[in-house]
Structure 1
Amino acid sequence: MRLSSAIVLLVFVCCSFSVNAQNSVNRINTKIWYQQDSAADFMDGISLNKAYELLKGKKSTPVIVAVIDTGVDTTHEDLKKILWVNKKEIPGNGIDDDNNGYVDDIHGWNFLGNKNGDNLTKTSDERSRVYYAYRDRYEGKNIDTANLSADEKWIYTEWKKAAADMTISTDEQMEVMMLEALDKSLRKQDAILQQELGKKEYSISDLEHSQIASISGKQAKTSYMNILKIVQTDSTTTNVSLLADLEEYLDGKKSSLQNKTTAPPDYRAESIKDNYYDINDKYYGNSDVMANDPDHGTHVTGIIGAQRDNKIGVDGIADNVQVMMVRALPPGGDEYDKDVALAIKYAVDNGAKVINMSFGKSFSPQKKWVDEAVKYAEDHDVLLVHAAGNESNNIDSVDNFPNPDFLNTTTAPDNFITVGAYGDPKINNGKFIAYFSNYGKGTVDIFAPGVKIYSTLPHSYGYHDGTSMASPVVTGVAALLRSYYPQLTAAQIKYALTGSATHLGTVNKPLKDDNSTDESIEMSELTSGGLLNAAAAVKLASTLKPEAKKVNSKPLQNNLEKK
């Protein structure tokens, strides 16, 4: 599950009231900070311009990058020309022209729909799904784990973890109450401001520069702006998007509490209608990769490869990519292991060399399927880039899925990168590490910019925060390297990225909860790497000699595997 930009901050403020405003942010060109260089631009970005200077005169080859996400705005002015096109499919003819099992998959595939064109609009959290799916099998029974198979033992372990978390805590109740109060307050002020401004949708900048005469209007503006300044909401954010994000998050929290006492509906069975527990039932879904809520996926896609030569909007990181959208992130709940596994395999089979995965969850009952897909990607020399998550957790000790720790084996894949988030101190409250970022010296490979990241949004542009944004920054640089150094393996690309990272000494530790205070920590305790540096990665990649690529003897199934 992903958490959107403004809500990451709103929730933190709602629960802690300890974030300070940054008055200097508006004086910085935050739209490009994460691509800039500390020496040339005085911003601690990834030194992308220096990377391109090093690549001058070198030829690049197109690289297909898959984005497993919520969907993408296929009509966006900055993305239309960089979207992957399946040239073996004839658009809109309702025929599986390339015989890969997926009809009209022009820009990718949507695993969250059905063949009638309907899409899943809501789902539940994985904890609830695990608990209720296996309750009758395990609850109140003496389970001898010695008699369980390895797969069954994992399911039982996940169920016990879910069962232990089905009690409603005071903290959860308090958070929902505070969020409801915040939502009610903002909506009350918003109604007044809409009337005062004479329009239903307005940006924070519009409000800030407005001249309001009435006392009630001035009070509403002051109250509204105070909250937004505290959470450092960007001036381009609109009231509509802010309140929609808050509503979605609040609805998810309320549903999560309700699910602890009442089994949620099986939204998937009502909509997608596949046999979820059969991984071989895989030809479901539809070709609608935009679907109903492509905000998150559109933002991620723009970071990776928004067209660089059109002098509009934003410049993506990689200059020669084709982005394939594989929709597997549902609205308002956790992703399903089956969709994630099949999304990875679909991307591999259709030629992706890098896959971005800006999502995560705490339970993974069908982890075996995802492990098999990760191994499949490794066997076909495909790099996977995964967001570490936004809970301020040490994921060395707290579960975060998907991950490269295969079940029932000590073997770890060498094609999996886990990414934490940082920000330039000038826009990150004087700190490097994003307060929300998960971390772990044994699990997080690198940190990349994930604070105040400007990119494409459906029909527009705007800012988001999160490791969901840090991951595509790494993906973009990985694609850049695979484009200019196509002879290098996925493992070598990972080494070029992590081996060239900028190592810092003492940094701030992410804030865990409302009782946390600022704490210093050695960065080596947060990650095995450092901060992403594109120029340094190019330098290191240029020194590497080609290795034999891990490619499975079985050919890619595109155009080979039949229904």
Structure 2
Amino acid sequence: MHSVKKVFLLGFISISSIVYGQDPLKGWHLKDATSDSFHGISINKTYDFLKGRKSKPVIVAVIDSGVDTTNEDLKNILWRNPKEIPGNGKDEDGNGYVDDVYGWNFLGGKDGRNVKTESAEATRIYHRYKSKFDNKTLDMASLSGDDKEEYELWKQASKIVIGKPEEQMELMFLEMAYKAVKKHEKVLRDEMKKDTFTVADLEKFTAATPAAQRAKLGYINFIKLTGIDSEDTNTTVFKELEEYIEEKKRAQDAKEKAPENYRAEIVKDNYKNINDRFYGNSDVMGPSPMHGTHVAGIIGAQRDNGIGADGVAQNVKVMMIRAVPDGDEYDKDIALAIKYAVDNGAKVINMSFGKGLSPEKNWVDDAVRYAELKDVLIIHAAGNDGENTDTTGNFPNPELKVLHRKASNFITVGASSDPKVSGDYVADFSNYGKSTVDVFAPGVKIYSTLPGKSTYGFLKGTSMASPVVAGVAAVIRSYFPDLSASQVKYVIEKSAIVDSALKVTRPGTKETVPFNELSTSGGLINALAAVKIATTLQPDKKEIKKEILPKPTFKNLPVKK
């Protein structure tokens, strides 16, 4: 049943709870290990240290699923395009994006519709090249370089799509278990006379009938066996479980049937042409803004209003770019989202998403390189598969394929925790990598904004760890605006708190390892230590070498009018 556990513990987003009252873990990620006994980022001490220094506003772009602009804790920190008049259907600033007041939506159509659900990238690749490679006798020596690359990509996708024979059986058992526990839940709702409950509520409940006793035992055992968070409510459990079962059914169908092309129906761009880039619409919220709203709040939820949650950065404007559907994102959208962020003044870009295959990696690499040349820092989530990304794919990444080097403006973030939060210093779902993950930051039970005027809650994932780092990067760029993106990266990684004696459970295993073996820095991000190092640096006057790309993609085309 590991696959069931994976959707709840290893998915990019998992709802722990939505709370309106007090909770001792609210904002633990901002606290200090010495004074607060939580291994957070010491942000309050950071601001105490920075008192008397002037700061400049910093724009942070959030490339995500969408952001709810009505949340009371976000409305004052949202970036607004100063040159654009909202709702008049005109492109005042001439950038090719009409009414891009808060940002842009690369998953929308000009008619206002939006792509909500998308297929896995492996499925798209498998069916794209199936007719070319399936059941064909190939002479590898005669294949061109591009054909060989496509074939290798198709083989990787085929392995994922075809999967293992036992997956069909696992799905069948999962559906049977779901039906059984759903019956238990109905009995419990009737007996407890409440529609929403957690395992903690159940443990306090005294079952008065044999049916209720069986239902209580069956429900609790199901939660424990599947590894679902015991703090999740029954409504959350079944919502996500239903979505997971549907996802697995689609994966089974994908072996024979190509996925629906919602993009062609709604977005209507020429996907094969990176320079066909003026598509989408201005709806930055979209149909599923939960993830992006939470990420935005972690970075910059208003700190001085006494309500909701506190973000990391206090002099920040969040630019919203919708490019991540329910499913795998498209490389073209991510590349153009990065370029949009850079062209509109972002100094930090947060990317809390990822996938295992990237067929148009050269487009994304060009965008990362474009950001590097424009001195923009990119922060990316390491992923939530409990795997070593030194040996497994995690895209986007800083490896600039054509240039055979790493980008100097890219930080990959794993998720840390605290023993009082989850029993360990590292999140059991987090990806890691001595060569590919740069630093760890809090990513378990993180409290932030949710869709709605005054809604807040806890989520977990490297998706939550990445914006913690993005927030710290924004603080540094705000108070030390002359430092380059590569210097901010250096500061964040150099200042990471390293304890060579600290042992943790390697994610995805039961093996105990030194925590400093899980990333390049070997430590936990700490804002106070970072700003102290920042005070010692002089601005970097060196110019980034302007390499010539063999296949340039972002051409200086005239803007569409």
| TM-score of the superposed pair, with normalisation by structure 1 | 0.88
Q: Which one of the candidate residues 515, 533, 541 is aligned to 2:534?
A: 541
Q: Does the 8 Å CA contact 1:48/1:535 hold for their aligned counterparts?
A: yes
SS at match of 2:123: helix
Per the TM alignment, residue 457 of structure 1 is displaced from its structure 2 partner at its CA by 1.2
Are 1:6 and 1:242, in contact at CA under 8 Å, matched by a contact in 2? no
Q: Distance in 1 between the 2:142 and 2:556 partners?
A: 42
Deviations 1:274-315 (A, max 9, x none): 111111111111111111111111111111111111111110
1:137 Cα deviation from its structure 2 partner = 2.3
Of 292, 299, 307, the residue aligned with 1:297 is 292
Q: Which residue does 1:326 correspond to in 2? A: 321
Question: Do the aligned residues in 2 keep the contact of 1:433 with 1:507 (CA within 8 Å)?
Answer: no
Q: CA deviation at 1:179?
A: 3.6
Partner of 2:138: 142
- Equivalent residue for 2:243, pick from 248, 264, 274: 248
Distance in 2 (alpha carbons) for counterparts of 1:323 and 1:63:
9
Partner Cα distance (1:208, 1:315) in 2 = 33
Moved more, 401-410 or 376-385: 401-410
In 2: Cα distance, 1:279 partner to 1:422 partner: 37
2:56 corresponds in structure 1 to: 61
Match of 2:499 among 467, 491, 504: 504
User: Structure 2 CA distance, aligned partners of 1:143 and 1:120?
Assistant: 40
TM-aligned CA deviation for residue 199 of structure 1: 5.9
Matched position secondary structure for 2:406 = coil
Provide the residue aligned with 1:434 in structure 2: 427
Over the matched positions of the two proteins, sequence identity in percent amounts to 53
Task: Look up the SS of the partner of 1:65 in the other structure.
Answer: strand
Please show how residues 338-417 of structure 1 align to structure 2 within 5 Å. Answer: 338-417=332-411
Structure 2 residue matching 1:137: 3-state secondary structure: helix
Whether 1:525 aligns to 2:520 is no
Change (3 A) 1:146 1:408: farther
Match status 1:310 vs 2:305 = yes
Q: What one-letter code is carried by the residue in structure 2 that aligns with 1:341? A: A
Q: How far apart are the structure 1 equivalents of 2:47 and 2:174?
A: 45
Distance 1:241 1:75, change over 3 A: farther
Mapped to 1, the partners of 2:117 and 2:497 lie a distance apart of: 41
Which of residues 87, 91, 94 in structure 2 aligns to 1:92? 87
Gapped regions of structure 2 (runs ≥ 5): 13-20, 547-553
1:279 correspondence with 2:271: no
What corresponds to 1:29 in structure 2?
24
1:247 Cα deviation from its structure 2 partner: 2.1
Note the residue ranges of structure 1 that are not aligned, 5 or more in a row.
13-25
Assess if the C-alpha contact under 8 Å between 1:6 and 1:465 holds in 2.
Answer: no
SS of alignment partner, residue 321 of structure 2? strand
Cα distance in 2 for residues equivalent to 1:349 and 1:309: 30
In structure 2, do the counterparts of structure 1 residues 411 and 10 end up closer, same or farther at CA, with 3 Å as the change threshold? closer
Task: Sort the Cα spacing of 1:64 and 1:181 in 2 relative to 1 into closer, same or farther, 3 A.
Answer: farther
CA distance in 2 between partners of 1:4 and 1:179 (Å): 8
Matches of 2:322 and 2:253, distance apart in 1: 27
**What secondary structure, in the 3-state scheme, does the structure 2 residue paired with 1:158 have?**
helix
In the alignment, the residues of structure 1 paired with residue 128 and residue 6 of structure 2 have an alpha-carbon distance, to the nearest angstrom, of 34
Structure 1's 145 and 200: CA in aligned 2 closer, same or farther, altered over 3 A? farther
Counterparts of 1:205 and 1:312, CA distance in 2: 28
Is residue 105–residue 281 contact of structure 2 (8 Å, CA) maintained in 1? yes
Q: Distance in 2 between matches of 1:503 and 1:201?
A: 42
Q: Distance in 1 between matches of 2:284 and 2:200?
A: 32
1:484–1:391 distance in 2 versus 1, CA, 3 Å:
same
Residue in structure 1 matched with residue 164 of structure 2 by the alignment: 169
How many Å separate the matches in 2 of 1:475 and 1:212? Answer: 48
**Matched position secondary structure for 1:104:** coil
Shift of 1:77: 1.2
Moved more, 88-97 or 258-267: 258-267
Q: With structure 2 as the length reference, what TM-score do the two structures score?
A: 0.88
Q: Against the structure 1 CA distance between its residues 407 and 248, is the aligned structure 2 distance closer, same or farther, given a 3 Å change threshold?
A: same
The superposition leaves residues 46-97 of structure 1 with CA deviations (integer Å, 9 ceiling, x where unpaired) of 1111111111111111111111111111111111111111121111111112
Partner of 1:157: 152
Residue 445 in 1 paired to residue 441 in 2? no
Q: 1:192 to 1:549 in 2, by over 3 A?
A: farther
8 A Cα contact 2:278 2:560, kept in partner: no
* Alpha-carbon contact 1:84-1:107 (below 8 Å) kept: yes
Q: Distance in 2 between matches of 1:30 and 1:307?
A: 19
Q: Deviations over 1:362-388 (max 9, x none)?
A: 111111100000001101111000001
1:22 counterpart residue number: none
2:551 aligned residue: none
Q: Structure 2 CA distance, aligned partners of 1:280 and 1:4? A: 41
Number of corresponding residues = 538
Which one-letter code corresponds to 1:454 in the other structure? Y
Question: 1:378·1:550 contact (CA, 8 Å) conserved in 2?
Answer: no
TM-fit CA distance, 1:350: 0.8
Contact 1:36 1:44 survives alignment (8 Å): yes
SS at match of 1:427: helix
Partner of 1:15: none
| Letter aligned with residue 545 of structure 1 | Q
Structure 2 residue aligned with 1:48, among 36, 43, 47?
A: 43
Cα 1:277–1:65 change in 2 (3 A) is: same
Distance 1:287 1:399 in 2: 32
Distance in structure 2 (CA, Å) of the matches to 1:397 and 1:496: 27
Closer/same/farther in 2, CA of residues 306 and 77 from structure 1, 3 Å limit: same
When residues 357 and 209 of structure 1 are mapped into structure 2, their CA distance, relative to the original with a 3 A threshold, is: same
Cα distance, 1:232 vs structure 2: 7.1
The CA distance in 1 between the partners of 2:209 and 2:556, in whole Å, is 64
Kept after mapping to 2: 8 A contact 1:6/1:245? no
